Structure formats: structure tokens, C-alpha cells
Amino acid sequence: MKFDNKVVFLTGCARGIGRAIAQIFADEGASIALCDLDDKALDIVVEELNGSAGKMKAYKLDVSNEMMVKETVERAVSDFGTIDILMNNAGVSTMNYFWNLTEKEWDFNININLKGIWLTCKYIAPIMIAKKKGKIVNTASMAGKMGAALESHYAASKFGVIGFSQAAALELAPYGINVNCVCPGFVKTSMQDREVTWEAKLKGVENEKEIVKDYIRQTPLGRLCYPTDVAKVVSFLSSDDADFMTGQAINVTGGACMH
């Protein structure tokens, strides 16, 4: 199997894209340090994945808390022996016109989506540097390549993810470590369900289904993205098949973004 004898540190995996990523890693034989702030939902994921070829262990983690990240990485290394793959998927979103955003709302998006990626990389990269091998994949977004109305703070965080990932790719290349991003488009998740409601309210659209129809109209392949679409690309970027790819931000958007 593709990830037999590999240890994955995976954040934001209790639901949605992260849950699909956890499943594909487990199906391919990986052992996974499963991290999420929602420990109850995380326990369900561990229960569902137990019986896979690899070892599964849950860790409650707030990726924006440096001490918590440091301690969780140390616990994972103690439990698994090493970390071969870091998959940063923890993320949040809110919606508002930028002039109505509060500082709290801005910081919430930046701290989880961007600072959290820096912190996990900060404490896991040295483990990979020591053995001169590793894969880091960060979840960015289509909104990290093209500004999204009502999501200036979210777009800023995701543009930042891509910029950070490119810089990290340059710094880690001498050690044989690949750093790449995956950029999902309009993904059918519980997060999108919330965003549809917010967007409809902010735009004065009575029927929320019209918002979803607009997402599909913007997607040349004519449907929403699904978590498994993203997970398959993450699997590729985490594998030996992507050994000569680094600093890339790969779209999984159905053509909604082509650059």
C-alpha cells in the first residue's frame, strides 16, 4: 500500500475534507496522528478507522496555540516514533463585508488558517530535516489565488498559506522535503452549508439554493467539489509519485480557477 509504514500528522480531520483525507490515508496503510479541536467528533473518526492496517490515535489540538502544538507533536513522536507526512487541513471561515469585520473575526481566520500551519511546520520540519525526507501538504483554497467577495480575511489567510508554503519549500528543499498546497474550490461540506446561509443573508438572496446554483455555474465541470476529490490529490502530493514537485498550489476546482 502507498503509505505502508508511513506516519501522518493530520490536522482538522473530524469532518469534511479532513475526514476524507484520513480515510484515504488509512485505506493506503498509513498510521495517523489524528488532530482536531472537536475531540468528541475525533473519537468517532478513530473508532471508524480502527481496523485499518495502520495505527490510529486521537489528539485534541488547537493549531493556533503554540504550546499545545509543541506538546502534541512531542506526544505523537513518542507514540509513533516519527512523522513522515504533515497534512495541514485545520481551517475556519466566516463571512462579512471587510468594513464590517471585527478584529476578533480577522484574527480567528488568520490564526487558525495561517498561523496554525506555521506552528505545525515549525515543530515537525526539524524531525524531517534530521532524516532528510518528508512531505508537507497544506490546505489553501481557490480563495488563495483569487479574492473572494465577503471573504477578504479568509482570502488573505489562504494567500498567506500559499506564500508561506513556497518559502518553506525553498528552505526545506536542501533536506529532501517537499512542500505543496492543495486548493479546493466549492466543496460540499458542512462549512459550505454555513457559508451558503451567510452569503444568502448578506446578499439579500431569499432562496439559498440560488447560491449553490451560482457556485455550480462558476464551475466548468458542472458540479460541486466533493471531499474525496481533494483527498485524492492530497494522497498524490504526499506520496513518492510527487517527489519532484515542491512549492506548488494544485487546484481542485473543476476549472473554477485555472491559474
Question: What is the set of active-site residues?
Answer: 154
Cα 39 to its chain centre, rounded Å, is: 18
Q: Which helix (H) or strand (E) holds 249?
A: strand 249-252
Expressed in angstroms, the distance from the first to the final Cα of the chain is 32
Residue spans of alpha helices (H) in the chain: 16-27, 39-49, 66-80, 103-110, 116-131, 152-172, 190-203, 208-217, 227-237
The span from the CA of 42 to the CA of 112, in Å, is: 18
Amino acid, res. 28: E
Q: Identify the CA nearest to 12 among candidates 45, 47, 55.
A: 45
CB contact at 8 A, 137 and 181: yes
Specify the residue for cell string 468528541: 40
The x, y and z cell numbers of residue 131, run together, are: 532524516
Q: Cβ-count burial of 222 within 10 angstroms (0-12 exposed, 13-18 middle, 19+ buried)?
A: exposed
Handedness of CA 198, 19, 59, 88 (dihedral sign): negative
Which residues make beta-bridge pairs with 187? Answer: 225
CB contact at 8 A, 6 and 214: no
